Structure 1
Amino acid sequence: MKKGLLAATIVSISCSSAVFANQACDETVLHGYMGNIKDEMQAMSSDVKSGDNEAAAQRVNTLITYFEKSRAETPFKFTSENLQGNELAQQQEKYTKVVDDTIVILKNLENALQTDNATDVRKWLGEVGGQRKIGHGAFKANC
């Protein structure tokens, strides 16, 4: 009886470890950050539309924090495509550059919001949209 229970426990642990090792793209830390970024972007957009630039600037600050955290993550696409060595290093460098460029744009947007410069707010919001297209086009896995 005890041997059977032990064997069942070992098999159960082995199977569950395999399941956890095969992580889906929507179960990654980065995916969670991107979901938070999406929510904050929508809220920030609403703040801008309602003329509450102060609240929008606070949202931008939160967005910067999420992007800073995202910088240390590896996109699921790199794992799913089994990138290794030089190829992985090159893609990780490109990913880091997109994140860093986005942070710079967000800081410019924050400044435009704080100074109530509507022209620059529109400009930097457009730039954020451009960065989104670049990032999703290059680093988002098709899951």
Structure 2
Amino acid sequence: MALKIRLSRGGTKKRPIYRIVVADTRFPRDGRFIEKIGTYNPMLAKDNEQRIVLDAERAKHWLSNGALPTDRVARFLTDAGLWERKPSNNPQKAKPKAKAQERLEAARMAEEEAAAAAAAPAEEAPAEEAPAEEAAGEEQAEA
């Protein structure tokens, strides 16, 4: 039997309160559980001592018996000093998906073409302007 230490939701609509329970993974989230080991009330201020109430001894017992905490409960247990939570790192999640990468590549190519087009006439423009300046200079000299 695989055990989880997880949250079971209670309370009314938009006013949740959670029980921290030990349950078989096959049981529904708000259904049957083996033991209630604490509560979590997210509506209370973060510095309120009643926000997270946890029976540390029972949690330690269940952890030693092989129960695995969910991510949120692992945070609570880490704060209580009962569990060492490994920081998660998924650099692949931050990367754009295939369609977005195609759009970025197309935009980059268009930007390079625009930069190349802007650079080419800029090199030829001083050569065309020079005779016009000389002609203007000759007209002023004659006047």
TM over 0.5: no
Rg: which structure is higher?
2
Normalised by the length of structure 1, the TM-score is: 0.25
By percentage of residues, which structure has more strand? Answer: 2
Q: Greater relative contact order: 1 or 2 (C-alpha under 8 angstroms, separation 6 or more)? A: 1
